[in-house]
């Protein structure tokens, strides 16, 4: 009998024992996906899930982990708020806008959803060390979960290009932080090689187990809305998250929880947009961007490893890609903070910048129900805000001078 879950190659369709440590297909080298034997699911899944709080682990039966000895490494990930954004709606001339605030996760980004699964997996495989390359959030998250699990954590980051808050997180959680003179793509190539040569468990989004955790964004959105939205807008870097979310929606349809699927819309920064460029060419293959550059350092990626899965998501969902400039990203960041009380990092604001652009080009109908995923907390990158803000006022400690300033406005 087939196991409850197994690994399947998205290219040649080869199936593999989930106990093997594989990141890509041993036959053809393509990406792997975690698949489930639906006939082995409990019949009252809805009832079982309904009794648990909204979180990644609500969906245990559709995750590739056996909770044998209560060994799940959790910091309380998922269960993030789906904010109805009425002031933003008004600003953009739309009527049904929601923002899924992934900054509420334990280390302040959606990566925690993947790491709770991925690090638990590392422990169950008896690995002692974990490794990732990162633009910041993956390393912050992996460092925290590795600390909780008692694992050694090695992170490779592009030198000088990681936001301060994320760097500080990796350091305080005790990771061995190695700055690489090169960009994220170069760091990931080395991390992959290292994981092949040494007993280091790789926790980049190439790891299909990690993506399983991230698909719970889709599960939660459906639980929160009662159905699938019309469109989901996601910032795209290495393209793991958009693929994972799409997989989540497809599974919910297979399970009979939803009838309709949303269109997936990926947003990239203009200076780091290989998938958006491929989309304009009709998805004829991926040409890497050699020197990606954007203020949204989290998505400063030129050679996304999950591009094939992202292409599938775009094709199957009838979705599309859009690009936004750095100025548009920073404007959207300020707008979301000022209108909705949500402070997100620049990469996350790209989904809001994308929404604004698509609303003004009428690519979104005003009645459509749209969910923007904002992926990381604004405090991760405080420098960018200070760099943009006017100089702060400083006065003597007396009533009149402060009154004068307040009255002037
Ligand atoms: N938003 C934020 C805040 C991110 O940190 C990332 C990726 C993304 C969006 C894009 O997600 O790669 O799945 O398409 N950050 C990775 C990191 C690359 O190392 O932290 P993706």
Ligand 1 touching residue 207 (CB < 6 A): no
For residue 178, the tally of other CB atoms under 10 A from its CB is 15
- Sketch the domain layout of the chain as residue ranges: 1-40, 82-108+210-388
- Give pLDDT, residue 409: 60
Dig out the tokens for 308 from the structure: 């094939």
Ligand 1 touching residue 239 (CB < 6 A): yes
Ligand 1 touching residue 105 (CB < 6 A): no
**Probe residue for ligand 1, chosen from 298, 336, 378 as the CB with the greatest number of ligand atoms within 8 Å:** 298
For residue 204, the tally of other CB atoms under 10 A from its CB is 26
Dig out the tokens for 52 from the structure: 């648990």
- CA dihedral of residues 112, 113, 118, 124 (deg, nearest 10): 100
Output the CA 102–ligand 1 centroid distance in Å: 12
Main-chain dihedrals φ then ψ at residue 117, nearest 5 degrees: -75, -50
**Probe residue for ligand 1, chosen from 163, 238, 266 as the CB with the greatest number of ligand atoms within 8 Å:** 238
User: How far separated are the first and last CA of the chain, in Å rounded?
Assistant: 72
Instruction: Take atom 15 of ligand 1 and give the residue whose Cα is closest.
Output: 298
Ligand 1 touching residue 205 (CB < 6 A): yes
Ligand 1 touching residue 134 (CB < 6 A): yes
- Which stretch of DSSP H or E encloses residue 155? strand 152-158
Q: Whole-angstrom Cα distance, residue 179 to residue 372?
A: 32
Q: Which atom of ligand 1 is nearest to the CA of 345?
A: 3
- Give pLDDT, residue 243: 98
Output the CA 41–ligand 1 centroid distance in Å: 31
Q: Whole-angstrom Cα distance, residue 365 to residue 359?
A: 7
Ligand 1 touching residue 213 (CB < 6 A): no
Tell me the whole-structure pTM to 2 decimals. Answer: 0.97
- Give pLDDT, residue 3: 87
pLDDT along the chain (409 residues), means of 10: 89 96 97 97 96 98 89 97 98 98 98 98 97 98 98 98 97 98 97 98 98 98 98 98 98 98 98 98 97 97 98 98 98 98 98 98 97 98 92 92 85
Q: Which atom of ligand 1 is nearest to the CA of 301?
A: 18
Instruction: Take atom 6 of ligand 1 and give the residue whose Cα is closest.
Output: 298
DSSP labels, 266-280 = EEEEGGG-HHHHHHH
Q: Which atom of ligand 1 is nearest to the CA of 240?
A: 13
Nearest CA among 174, 168, 187 for reference residue 143: 174
Q: Which atom of ligand 1 is nearest to the CA of 166?
A: 20
Q: Which atom of ligand 1 is nearest to the CA of 236?
A: 14
SS3 state at 241? helix
Domain 82-108+210-388 CATH (choose: 3.40.50.300, 3.40.50.1100, 1.20.1250.20, 3.30.460.80): 3.40.50.1100
């Amino acid at each position: 009998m087939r196991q409850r879950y197994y690994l399947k190659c998205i290219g040649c369709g080869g199936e593999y024992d989930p106990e093997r440590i594989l990141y890509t297909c041993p036959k053809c080298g393509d990406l792997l996906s975690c698949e489930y034997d639906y006939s082995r699911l409990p019949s009252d899944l809805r009832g079982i899930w309904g009794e648990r709080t909204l979180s990644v682990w609500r969906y245990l039966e559709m995750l590739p982990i056996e909770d044998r000895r209560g060994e799940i490494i959790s910091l309380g990930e998922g269960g993030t708020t789906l904010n109805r954004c009425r002031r933003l709606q008004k600003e953009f001339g739309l009527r049904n806008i929601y923002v899924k605030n992934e900054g509420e996760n334990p280390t302040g980004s959606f990566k925690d959803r993947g790491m709770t699964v991925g690090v638990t997996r590392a422990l169950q495989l008896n690995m002692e060390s974990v490794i990732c390359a990162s633009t910041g959030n993956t390393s912050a998250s992996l460092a925290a979960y590795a600390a909780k699990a008692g694992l050694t954590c090695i992170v490779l980051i592009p030198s000088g290009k990681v936001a301060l808050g994320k760097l500080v997180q990796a350091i305080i959680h005790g990771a061995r932080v190695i700055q690489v003179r090169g960009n994220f793509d170069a760091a990931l190539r080395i991390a992959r090689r290292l994981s092949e040569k040494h007993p280091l468990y790789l926790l980049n989004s190439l790891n299909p187990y990690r993506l399983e955790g991230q698909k719970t964004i889709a599960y939660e959105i459906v639980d929160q809305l009662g159905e699938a939205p019309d469109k989901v807008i996601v910032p795209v870097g290495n393209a793991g998250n958009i693929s994972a979310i799409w997989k989540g929606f497809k599974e919910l349809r297979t399970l009979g929880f939803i009838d309709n699927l949303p269109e997936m819309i990926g947003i990239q920064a203009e200076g780091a947009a290989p998938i958006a460029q491929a989309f304009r060419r009709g998805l004829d293959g991926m040409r890497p961007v050699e020197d990606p550059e954007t203020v949204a350092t989290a998505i400063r990626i030129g050679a996304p490893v999950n591009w094939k899965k992202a292409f599938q998501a775009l094709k199957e969902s009838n979705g599309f890609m859009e690009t936004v400039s750095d100025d548009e990203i920073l404007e959207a960041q300020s707008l979301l903070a000022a209108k909705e009380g949500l402070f997100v990092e620049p990469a996350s604001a790209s989904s809001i910048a994308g929404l604004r652009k698509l609303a003004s080009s009428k690519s979104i109908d005003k009645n459509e129900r749209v969910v923007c995923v904002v992926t990381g907390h604004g405090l991760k990158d405080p420098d960018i805000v200070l760099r943009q803000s006017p100089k702060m006022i400083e006065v003597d400690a007396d009533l009149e001078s402060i009154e004068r300033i307040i009255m002037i406005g």
